[in-house]
Structure 1
């Protein structure tokens, strides 16, 4: 009897707000490691270690249980964890929209009841699910969907406190729980603090005198610190020496260095109108939700602006100002790095989706007041409500379908295939290094090789983490002002050259000048040889063992982010260089095959290949 009553109380629309996005995300989920921070995050999660500053301890501990799933690779399991957190964020949109629309009357409430509100909330959730930003964060490992979901829950808790206070009932536990979750969420990303002004406004808007409640605020602060204690993970795990231990937070100095992101450059660019406009456009409602979505957002804000719920509108505007002032104003990110700040706006997009749901409801209410026929009203309401999520899904599906994205995995495995036994290979860019960390550290591939990351050679904690290479290195004695990546790389190469075969990746090849060494190409990497040795021909045999999934158009892999595109260009450029070297050596057939493959991979390489062939008189 009770079970039947529970089933009747279940809201199928709320279930759909979670299940449908999860289905979409699993359908387009990356099957393995991807570029950017993916390999690093997965390695940190698998080893319960520490990712790059500020460490992401909540995301690390959230993802760890999923590594025990009985299917797929570790990378795939972590990607599933992210898909679930993104679906939860979509549910958060549905839930908050229903909270916002509570007590609102839809068209002919005696006939339709809460259906208009539920459909509007579901449409908003599905639209948010298919936005380019959230979708990109959902189908491989990212902490931002988890953060957005927590932001929604805290927003709801502040509204619960506000309602209970206005009804004459004190419920400070809601604020204490919200403060704990905010502290905890800093372990997913520190941008949660940008929501604090909005949360504070929801409390103060009920009664300005609450600011005088010092005792309650001190207790809330204590709960916030309790949640923030998730960062003790950095210290506890550093003492255990996990596989990935970024910053080595074994003492207070290193802990603060990691937490406060002291390892990142702090130089700000000179801002002009063009840069400022690009920074502001990192938050782009029309791009994420279409112009129609922008219109609905305006309608939703306007629909509450002149009512007793105007405090919700002001809360959204406070959040918008907080994010823009800090991310655009304080961060002042250089133009080539703005794509990094685009991810920070996910909580703000969640709130935007909620008001889009409100805008849908307002429009449906007005349409319903002018449609006398009940059947026509239902059909028209359904078509109108779901036109937006269907359109947004159709726009972004192809660009976010990663279910055949093996580019990063193959790029890293091809690199490892190129290396001889016991080699050491220096990497430069994060995207070239992190998939290698995952393959070697988690998938246990080529554990005989050493893979030092050049930008980290300037840090003692990193040298300490690789004692097999740096236990007695002269790098420790190098003064800090001389510890540039270039200097430390050249010094380390000379230390290792007499001990092991030394290689560099493609990015290092074009980032550092090796004046006293010659480079010997081997596929997409280069061996460093003494300049006194006679030049050796390129090793072209390695191309035959490379995997080229997704490179030659034989699959349906459409996904192309910045780093995936760079990897494809690297394949093309390396094949051009290899093909030209083969032609120089008179190995015409092999050279033509390499140049043909380069042209099939990238159109740019195809044009260059034709020029090279003409230079050598080959048709």
Structure 2
């Protein structure tokens, strides 16, 4: 068979094999995290969170047609898009490897074999496969990155031929379009620059370094010069046309675009006539990059249409600039800045412009803090002052630093210990580069311990090889591990085989083609350590970030492909026959892509998993009609919005996202009708919010009696005499004149008041004012509900909640709840019907469905097991023993302990089984629980005393569980059934008391 035929057939086979894999393992509906948001955005061309992904949204909209009008298939169709473009990435990677391999060997089988092994290895890697089966931007982003590199190789292969520079123009449009998916696509620029530069000039160490530096400069120029300058030009033109010439909105944008297009065309034509081909090419390339980038006009157009989901509201050029700059998110220092304990000494008042309906007016941006300069350092890696972060930093680095005396904002002097540059580098190496990159690299090519997110413990989320002596050196004992570690679906071991092939291939590649080696090495480093530096990750992340570094893993997969060629070419002459080469291909194939496929399939197969969708639908269906529902984070917000926007489940419920309540655009949108939900009543004037006059208000104890909070809001909103305080600099400040407040509530057929105390507050900030405005202004006319009791507790409302399904409704009746761990009262009849009959549970009880860590985690966040326990307890108190038993049995079946491992809710369940008279079930449950706890503790005993520090939380927790289990055993007089439990506990206690 001719090489060309073999090449095409193999490429198509690689594409089909990878696509079928993704198709079979595709998630059938929405997922947790941002997937729900991207899916709903694509469905109706809505505006997702900054900095957006308009090209993903447009392409996703096209793929929704595959749902053929079935709203429950829309998520699947967009997930399918990810699978298709991921298979496209694998196809391009096959071609990339083959193009490079042809320069190193004339053996067609070797060349094609390299492409097959390298591309399929990447196809089945942990991180790439994860993104390929869900509706997220990273699959599409990798497609553009791989297509760009492929185009660069096509240019290199045709160097010197007429019109070959068309490939560079193609790359330019890919880069521009890629910006409409994710900034990660820019990482290809230095590699392409090196290919072009080193093909055009003599290859030397100097030129290799020069080409890399030029490539980095070009990348930074696109990111920090070209795009910002373009947006500045558009904004200047717009403000002249609107504010000075009084023309309609967007007139300046149209003029600027036409001017730029005309100038580009003239420039290209002019330099072509002068024979300046390179200048003409540069202008054309910039024009195409910006043409691709112009896809962001979709955000502008759709935002102006006012869709139900309109995050950031980029409805004019200035708000679009703020949207692209992610102004609503805090900035992270990069090369110089503050540390975690740097005191704030002032604020930088930042301004932007906004359209008020007639002209552009100035408005405030979120202020930037100014930190004491004495505490600012170079390369600040330990900068976050969020709760818990200081201790997290200290768990990775022994911070002795340098002592610095500073004055805080109150004028008081204090001595602080500022981390030294050396300590910053230690944290960078150990956590940011080690834990947050190297660990992910090893996950993909050496093995993964489990999918449980950890904080550096030896039992959660580490990389392992499957070779016990090596794993034991890093992670402690590998024998007698508990069931939850042994049988985790994501426990994948590759025994270093793909990794060693990659190292071998990299060495071989370097020897054969240094120019191309340095080109792809630059991509490996920038997509790995370069991103580590740029992201500057915080020490407590909400989820694993391996998907960010997939570009780096793609390069390593290229090297794995060349590992096959390296071994084949290094074989002695007598062993280098065709049969030997075929046998070697089979060995390497089974040692890399086939091994990855076999190990990774069960934990990447998301078929029949509906948990994210069903949990969200259950929450929405729990709400009374026309309710206002407060949510707190990604996973209790985006899936709910998906259900409303895509499947039209309960569109009457108005979702209020608490992290967005401080944003002016979000407050304004709350007042507008959305789907079947009327706008919220609010008393705070939007104009004052936009002008920054309500960023905070003072709390004064001027009125001694209780005051209606509604009247206070009207007072704060007023400009009447006596409603303002005068500050030292002469400004007027709104204030609240009382600390004992109340507001009226009508819920569940009852009307009454709920008290609010501000005795311990000096100021209320905008987000708190907005929260109270929403609650107080609507509590009479609409049900107020919370997904999380914590949000209600933070505002002193915990004792006025009533459980309604999976949400908590505000009622004017005080309950007896003493802590957030307790559930408030509920209508047991209604709750029984919901839990037992009405709600769907996403197949979480099916043993053949892959229920991963974050599904279990979110079930805990929503306190699903706690809701069942609470209902069973209430039914027992009401004398409905039979129903209580049904609820308990349902809970045991729905949350199998092989997946939903024992926790504090399990202790409640054990007690309730005995209270319900289910003694046999109770004993069986206790036996499994005791066995699980003993298994954990006996495993921890194997660790040396000085190794147990990072296991301290687990040991303390399991010892507490054991102690409580012994209490239940004694209370139920089960000493005969558990004759050794007490002795075992005492012996374990003696061991751990010495080592902790």
After TM superposition, is the score higher than 0.5? yes
Deviation at 1:156, TM superposition (A): 2.3
Find out whether 1:493 has 2:775 as its counterpart.
Answer: yes
Distance 1:409 1:277 in 2: 37
* Contact 2:611–2:855, Cα closer than 8 Å, also in 1: no
Tell me the SS of whatever aligns to 1:69.
helix
2:102 alignment partner in structure 1:
102
1:137 alignment partner in structure 2:
131
Deviation at 1:47, TM superposition (A): 0.7
Q: Deviations over 1:169-215 (max 9, x none)?
A: 67332222212211110111112223322222222222269979555
1:82 alignment partner in structure 2:
82
1:445 alignment partner in structure 2:
649
Find out whether 1:230 has 2:224 as its counterpart.
Answer: no
Deviation at 1:392, TM superposition (A): 0.6
Tell me the SS of whatever aligns to 1:402.
coil
Larger % of helix: which?
1
1:287 aligned to which of 443, 447, 451? 443
Deviation at 1:23, TM superposition (A): 0.5
* Contact 1:154–1:182, Cα closer than 8 Å, also in 2: yes
2:463 alignment partner in structure 1:
none
1:300 aligned to which of 484, 505, 514? 505
Deviation at 1:616, TM superposition (A): 9.0
Which segment is superposed worse, 399-408 or 366-375? 366-375
* Contact 1:501–1:527, Cα closer than 8 Å, also in 2: yes
Find out whether 1:576 has 2:791 as its counterpart.
Answer: no
Q: Deviations over 1:344-377 (max 9, x none)?
A: 1122222221222122222233348442654354
Superposition pairs for residues 354-433 of structure 1, below 5 Å?
354-367=558-571, 369-371=573-575, 374-433=578-637
Q: Deviations over 1:480-520 (max 9, x none)?
A: 35556555334322222111112111375577343375111
Find out whether 1:117 has 2:111 as its counterpart.
Answer: yes
Distance 1:67 1:338 in 2: 30
Distance 2:778 2:47 in 1: 28
* Contact 1:428–1:507, Cα closer than 8 Å, also in 2: no
2:835 aligned to which of 543, 552, 557? 543
2:972 alignment partner in structure 1:
none
Which segment is superposed worse, 254-263 or 381-390? 381-390
Which segment is superposed worse, 127-136 or 540-549? 540-549
* Contact 1:486–1:512, Cα closer than 8 Å, also in 2: no
Larger % of strand: which?
2
1:201 alignment partner in structure 2:
194
Distance 2:150 2:90 in 1: 14
Which segment is superposed worse, 533-542 or 352-361? 533-542
* Contact 2:527–2:549, Cα closer than 8 Å, also in 1: yes
TM-score (norm 2): 0.57
2:168 aligned to which of 154, 166, 175? 175
* Contact 2:622–2:804, Cα closer than 8 Å, also in 1: yes
1:68 alignment partner in structure 2:
65
1:520 alignment partner in structure 2:
802
Which segment is superposed worse, 448-457 or 578-587? 578-587
2:985 alignment partner in structure 1:
none
* Contact 2:682–2:774, Cα closer than 8 Å, also in 1: no
Unaligned runs of 5+ in 2: 202-206, 215-275, 333-382, 385-389, 398-425, 447-495, 673-677, 697-763, 817-823, 920-996
Distance 2:79 2:158 in 1: 39
1:19 alignment partner in structure 2:
16
Tell me the SS of whatever aligns to 1:526.
strand
* Contact 1:53–1:247, Cα closer than 8 Å, also in 2: yes
| Alignment RMSD (CA, Å) | 3.1
Tell me the SS of whatever aligns to 1:567.
helix
Superposition pairs for residues 308-319 of structure 1, below 5 Å?
309-319=513-523
* Contact 1:148–1:350, Cα closer than 8 Å, also in 2: no
1:480 alignment partner in structure 2:
695
1:187 alignment partner in structure 2:
180
* Contact 1:425–1:452, Cα closer than 8 Å, also in 2: yes
* Contact 2:523–2:555, Cα closer than 8 Å, also in 1: no
Deviation at 1:250, TM superposition (A): 0.8
* Contact 2:521–2:555, Cα closer than 8 Å, also in 1: no
Q: Deviations over 1:308-333 (max 9, x none)?
A: x2122212232233234543223222
Deviation at 1:13, TM superposition (A): 0.7
Distance 1:153 1:115 in 2: 24
Deviation at 1:76, TM superposition (A): 0.9
Find out whether 1:560 has 2:713 as its counterpart.
Answer: no
Tell me the SS of whatever aligns to 1:235.
helix
Which segment is superposed worse, 263-272 or 35-44? 263-272
TM-score (norm 1): 0.89
* Contact 1:517–1:528, Cα closer than 8 Å, also in 2: no
Deviation at 1:52, TM superposition (A): 1.2
Distance 1:507 1:383 in 2: 56
Tell me the SS of whatever aligns to 2:315.
coil
Deviation at 1:70, TM superposition (A): 4.7
2:351 alignment partner in structure 1:
none
* Contact 1:238–1:250, Cα closer than 8 Å, also in 2: yes
Which segment is superposed worse, 50-59 or 310-319? 310-319
* Contact 1:423–1:448, Cα closer than 8 Å, also in 2: yes
Number of equivalent positions: 607
Distance 2:99 2:22 in 1: 26
Find out whether 1:242 has 2:307 as its counterpart.
Answer: yes
* Contact 1:304–1:310, Cα closer than 8 Å, also in 2: yes
Tell me the SS of whatever aligns to 1:35.
coil
* Contact 1:550–1:556, Cα closer than 8 Å, also in 2: no
* Contact 1:66–1:77, Cα closer than 8 Å, also in 2: yes
1:609 alignment partner in structure 2:
909
Change (3 A) 1:327 1:589: farther
Distance 1:434 1:310 in 2: 47
Distance 1:518 1:412 in 2: 24
Distance 1:384 1:418 in 2: 54
